[in-house]
């Protein structure tokens, strides 16, 4: 369904602009512990049996996992326990394993028995036509049935990997080169001209018959025994040190590296790394199942990376379920939750944040869009509750119009930014560095009823977020009774700002550090130059919202005075600064929240033209971010959709795992590290997939090299849900075929 667009300044896009919500491949990961001991999770190799059973060779021996079971079983005889080094499964369900003391063969009862005749470490086992080849530091053996034959081969014995090509040749990777073993003997391909380097760690046969050799330095592709191609970071390989190779059923190549598992689909590379995807980035082996799931062996356990069809509508339902289950705390605030230990969703606890009000307001906007599209009464009630939580942030202060940053129950401890007393010397020292800094010794104050603690020194970010939520709810989801409540609340907050000289004044009688919109500051105080443009947009947006809701001419008169007589028209033109010293993604998000009210409610063509021009100027600085929130805000401004390919990519590739794992892309070799356009932040030279970066909000820098908090928190999912429902409302994203 294409909803009727209520944004009077931009007609709904035509159906031709709609992206159909067809199923895509959503990727997820399941991390597995083999056993409690570190040695059992030090996995050296992995193999999949035709039955679906998974076998791993670990420092503690061989273990197996049957389909549908959760517990691995130790397979080596307890009396012979020790490091297992390699494992392979033949096409008949047979299991073979190389260990510290020889070769093992799987028995019908599921146990392993040692093969007689090999009393030496077996570092590598590979299946060959008619039997098995066992290789180790003391030589090689051929095993056919019960017959064991020691081979006389003039090869190095630093065996790492092996594969059989279509012609029956056995290719063996060693630390001195790649050997091709045929009936005629052993032919060595050395590093340099024949393979990338002599340190060959992995080898695999591609579906087209080519032999891929993973080396220290990249990958060599061999055809007819000769080097036909090279893949290095110049061709997109994320890491030049290759430790494992495996092909999937659709021809995709998985590459193990010390920094994660890379996948090549024929055109582009992707990297799966960090605790979102793997228990350790040190990949030892990869086995791909018939359904395409990649079983990745690492130095600290096993991960299963799989794909399943999903629509955006289904993804939205799942994210909303997470949000409802863990992220709405009394009195209706929406935020991240704390996880201790990191990543443990069972341990979640609510937490406070300086920007609880803004983030709750963005949730309010999301639910309002969702209601406008679906008319789901659950969405309307959720929006109503979120609005009343924002309203409570004002009434809890007991003031005429001041708004708290956040509120927590009175018995909470361990809040962010506890009350703090500083010596005068510290205060003076800080003000010397930042003349606009404000010493706030009492950040948390009790409510009149003693039930709550509320936090002051509220920022302009918070107020901008609030107004964005107010207008979204008012225009999209509020009934007539709700609108009366919203109007009176907006009047109260706006009058408080006006009555205090266009500043937000805390109960200490002074304006908060950031909430300043007064002309004498924005046009006459050099210290406010960095924020003058965006703060001008903010206050004009507040006044336009208040006039739209109340019809009170006082708000329009002040709006016109600021715009025409106090220089705010020119300040608006400077709303998006490209000065490297002042540029931040926080301001990018705030403009996405402040501009819509001006674009929607302004009737004067000249002013509207200016706001649209400013929106386009802002967007040119963020169009490479691939941000659907920014893309759809531009579409609202212009009445036509931008190129939303990157937005769709983001919505589809964003991980289902909302834990904010640390994602470190600094070790990648396929990207450059830069300090432009924001020199303070080390950035990647190109935009990475959201699957390769941390779960983030749009006030964060999507190009930042190292992101995340190590799994200490889980996101509420609103960063994804808000633009999704915006896109649905605007007709840019269609309804799922299933009706979602």
Would you say residue 74 lies in a domain? Answer: yes
**Higher-pLDDT residue of 740, 18:** 18
Q: Which H, E and C letters describe 632-665, residue by residue? A: HHHHHHHCCCCCCHHHHHHHHHCCCCCECCCEEC
pLDDT band at residue 277 using 50, 70 and 90 as cut-offs: very high
The domain boundary, picked from 553, 586, 621, lies at: 621
Q: Is 120's pLDDT higher than 50?
A: yes
Compute φ and ψ for 253, nearest 5 degrees.
-105, 130
Cis peptide before 111 (omega within 30 of 0): no
Count the residues in the chain: 740
* 529 DSSP 8-state letter: G
In this structure, are strands 43-48 and 54-58 parallel, antiparallel, or unpaired?
antiparallel
C-alpha 652: how far from chain center? 12
Angle at 629 between CA 623 and CA 633, to 5 degrees: 80
pLDDT band at residue 729 using 50, 70 and 90 as cut-offs: very high
* pLDDT, position 310: 98
Compute φ and ψ for 130, nearest 5 degrees.
85, 0
Would you say residue 552 lies in a domain? Answer: yes
Mean pLDDT score, 627-650: 85
Report if pTM > 0.75.
yes
Q: Is 282's pLDDT higher than 60?
A: yes
Intra-chain end-to-end CA distance of the chain, in Å: 11
- Block residue for tokens 């979204």: 472
Would you say residue 27 lies in a domain? Answer: no
17 token code pair: 């602009």
Mean pLDDT score, 266-271: 94
Check: CB of residue 729 under 8 Å from CB of residue 316.
no
Would you say residue 377 lies in a domain? Answer: no
Mean pLDDT score, 135-142: 96
Helix (H, G, I), strand (E, B) or coil at 192: coil
Q: What is the CATH number of the domain that holds 93?
A: 2.130.10.10
* pLDDT, position 2: 38
* pLDDT, position 136: 97
For residue 515, what are the contacts with CB-CB under 8 A and spacing of at least 6? 458, 459, 460, 462, 463, 503, 504
* 3 DSSP 8-state letter: P
Q: Residue 588 and residue 642: Cα distance in Å, rounded?
A: 17
Q: For the chain, what percent of residues have pLDDT higher than 70?
A: 97
**Higher-pLDDT residue of 468, 637:** 468
Compute φ and ψ for 179, nearest 5 degrees.
-100, 135
304 token code pair: 């299963």
Q: Residue 369 and residue 391: Cα distance in Å, rounded?
A: 20
pLDDT tens-place string over residues 214-233: 999 999 999 999 999 999 99
Q: Residue 256 and residue 216: Cα distance in Å, rounded?
A: 12
* pLDDT, position 642: 67
Total of domains in the chain: 2
* pLDDT, position 14: 41
Q: In what order do the strands lie in the sheet with 147-151?
A: 124-128, 131-136, 139-144, 147-151
* pLDDT, position 16: 42
Q: Residue 161 and residue 119: Cα distance in Å, rounded?
A: 21
pLDDT tens-place string over residues 569-606: 999 999 999 898 898 999 999 999 999 999 999 999 99
Q: Is 3's pLDDT higher than 90?
A: no
Helix (H, G, I), strand (E, B) or coil at 273: coil
Of 118-122, 182-186, 553-557, give the lowest mean pLDDT range.
Answer: 182-186
Would you say residue 554 lies in a domain? Answer: yes
For residue 74, what are the contacts with CB-CB under 8 A and spacing of at least 6? 35, 60, 61, 62, 63, 81
pLDDT band at residue 738 using 50, 70 and 90 as cut-offs: low
DSSP 575-624: SS---TTT--HHHHHHHHHHHHHHHHH---HHHHHHHHHHHHHHHHTTGG
Mean pLDDT score, 729-734: 92
Would you say residue 301 lies in a domain? Answer: no
pLDDT tens-place string over residues 387-398: 999 999 999 999
Minimal CA–CA distance to 333: which of 399, 387, 411, 370?
A: 387
pLDDT tens-place string over residues 9-48: 334 444 346 889 999 999 999 999 999 999 999 999 999 9
* 453 DSSP 8-state letter: E
**Higher-pLDDT residue of 436, 643:** 436
* pLDDT, position 636: 85
DSSP 84-135: EEEEEE-TTS-EEEEETTEEEEE-TTS-EEEPTT--S---EEEEETTEEEEE
Of 11-20, 115-124, 401-410, 484-493, give the lowest mean pLDDT range.
Answer: 11-20
Q: In what order do the strands lie in the sheet with 713-714?
A: 349-350, 337-338, 713-714
Mean pLDDT score, 459-478: 98
Check: CB of residue 644 under 8 Å from CB of residue 17.
no
Kindly calculate the radius of gyration of the chain based on its CA atoms and give it in whole angstroms: 31
145 token code pair: 């049935």
The domain boundary, picked from 621, 653, 669, lies at: 621
C-alpha dist (Å) from residue 601 to 470, 480, 544, 608: 14, 19, 7, 9
The domain boundary, picked from 152, 184, 216, lies at: 152
Would you say residue 68 lies in a domain? Answer: yes
CA dihedral 381, 385, 387, 390 (to 10 degrees): -170
454 token code pair: 């509320």
* pLDDT, position 420: 86
Angle at 423 between CA 421 and CA 427, to 5 degrees: 95
CA dihedral 498, 503, 507, 513 (to 10 degrees): 170
Q: For the chain, what percent of residues have pLDDT higher than 90?
A: 87
For residue 701, what are the contacts with CB-CB under 8 A and spacing of at least 6? 585, 678, 681, 683
Q: Residue 178 and residue 165: Cα distance in Å, rounded?
A: 14
Q: Residue 246 and residue 208: Cα distance in Å, rounded?
A: 14
The mean pLDDT of the chain is 94
CA quadruple 691, 734, 306, 322: dihedral sign: positive
Minimal CA–CA distance to 84: which of 109, 70, 67, 64?
A: 64
pLDDT band at residue 419 using 50, 70 and 90 as cut-offs: confident
Domain boundaries, position 600: 517-621
Tell how many helices (H) and how many strands (E) occur in the chain: 16, 44
- Block residue for tokens 């803004």: 358
680 token code pair: 């303070």
Would you say residue 646 lies in a domain? Answer: no
Mean pLDDT score, 555-577: 97
């Amino acid at each position: 369904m294409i909803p009727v667009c209520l944004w009077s300044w931009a007609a709904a896009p035509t159906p031709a602009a709609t992206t159909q919500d067809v199923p895509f491949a959503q990727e997820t990961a399941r991390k597995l512990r083999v056993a409690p001991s570190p040695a059992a999770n030090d996995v050296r190799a992995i193999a999949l049996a035709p039955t679906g059973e998974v076998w791993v060779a670990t420092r503690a021996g061989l273990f197996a996992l049957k389909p549908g079971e959760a517990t691995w079983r130790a397979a080596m005889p307890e009396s012979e326990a020790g490091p297992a080094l390699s494992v392979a499964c033949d096409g008949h369900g047979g299991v073979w394993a190389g260990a510290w003391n020889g070769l093992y063969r799987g028995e019908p009862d599921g146990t392993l028995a040692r093969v007689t005749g090999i009393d030496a470490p077996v570092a590598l086992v590979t299946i060959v036509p008619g039997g098995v080849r066992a290789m180790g530091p003391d030589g090689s053996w051929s095993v056919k049935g019960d017959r064991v034959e020691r081979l006389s081969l003039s090869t190095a014995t630093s065996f790492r990997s092996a594969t059989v090509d279509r012609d029956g040749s056995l290719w063996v990777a060693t630390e001195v080169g790649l050997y091709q073993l045929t009936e005629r003997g052993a032919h060595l391909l050395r590093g340099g001209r024949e393979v990338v380097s002599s340190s060959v760690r992995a080898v695999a046969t591609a579906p087209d018959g080519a032999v891929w050799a993973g080396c220290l330095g990249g990958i060599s592709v061999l055809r007819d025994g000769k080097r036909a191609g090279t893949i290095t970071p110049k061709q997109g390989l994320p890491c030049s040190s290759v430790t494992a190779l495996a092909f999937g059923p659709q021809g995709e190549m998985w590459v193990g590296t010390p920094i994660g598992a890379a996948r090549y689909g024929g055109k582009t590379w992707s990297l799966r790394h960090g605790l979102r995807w793997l228990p350790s980035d040190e990949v030892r082996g990869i086995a791909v199942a018939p359904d395409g799931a990649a079983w990745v062996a690492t130095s600290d356990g096993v991960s299963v990376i799989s794909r399943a069809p999903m629509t955006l509508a289904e993804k939205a339902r799942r994210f909303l379920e997470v949000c409802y289950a863990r992220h709405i705390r009394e009195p209706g605030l929406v935020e991240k939750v704390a996880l201790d230990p990191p990543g443990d969703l069972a341990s979640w606890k609510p937490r406070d944040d300086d920007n609880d009000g803004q983030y709750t307001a963005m949730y309010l906007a999301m639910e309002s869009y969702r209601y406008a599209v679906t008319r789901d009464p659950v969405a309307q009630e959720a929006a109503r509750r979120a609005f009343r939580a924002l309203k409570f942030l004002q009434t809890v202060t007991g003031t005429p119009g001041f708004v708290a940053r956040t509120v927590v129950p009175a018995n909470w401890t361990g809040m962010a930014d506890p009350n703090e007393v500083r010596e005068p010397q510290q205060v003076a020292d800080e003000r010397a560095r930042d003349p606009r800094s404000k010493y706030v010794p009492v950040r948390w104050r009790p409510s009149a009823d003693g039930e709550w603690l509320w936090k002051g020194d509220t920022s302009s970010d918070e107020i901008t977020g609030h107004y964005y939520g107010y207008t979204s709810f008012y225009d999209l989801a509020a009934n007539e009774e709700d609108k009366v409540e919203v109007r009176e609340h907006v009047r109260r907050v706006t009058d408080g700002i006006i009555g205090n000289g266009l500043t937000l004044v805390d109960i200490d009688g002074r304006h908060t550090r950031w909430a300043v919109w007064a002309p004498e500051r924005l046009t006459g105080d050099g210290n406010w130059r960095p924020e003058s443009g965006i703060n001008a947009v903010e206050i004009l947006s507040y006044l336009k919202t208040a006039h739209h809701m109340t019809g009170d001419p006082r708000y329009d008169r002040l709006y016109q005075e600021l715009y025409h007589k106090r220089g705010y028209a020119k300040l608006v033109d400077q709303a998006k600064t490209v000065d490297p010293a002042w540029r931040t993604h926080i301001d990018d998000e705030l403009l996405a929240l402040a501009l819509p009210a001006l674009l929607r409610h302004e009737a004067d063509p000249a002013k509207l033209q200016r706001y649209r021009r400013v929106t386009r100027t802002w967007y040119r600085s963020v169009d490479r971010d691939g941000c659907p929130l920014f893309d759809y805000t531009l579409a609202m401004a212009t009445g036509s959709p931008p190129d939303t390919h990157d937005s769709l990519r983001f919505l589809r590739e964003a991980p289902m795992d909302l834990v904010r794992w640390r994602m470190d892309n600094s070790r990648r070799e396929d990207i450059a590290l830069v300090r432009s356009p924001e020199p303070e932040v080390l950035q990647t030279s190109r935009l990475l997939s959201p699957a390769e970066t941390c779960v983030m909000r749009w006030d964060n820098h999507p190009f930042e090299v190292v992101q995340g908090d190590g799994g200490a928190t889980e996101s509420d999912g609103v960063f994804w849900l808000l633009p999704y429902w915006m896109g649905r409302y605007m007709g840019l994203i269609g309804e799922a075929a299933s009706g979602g």
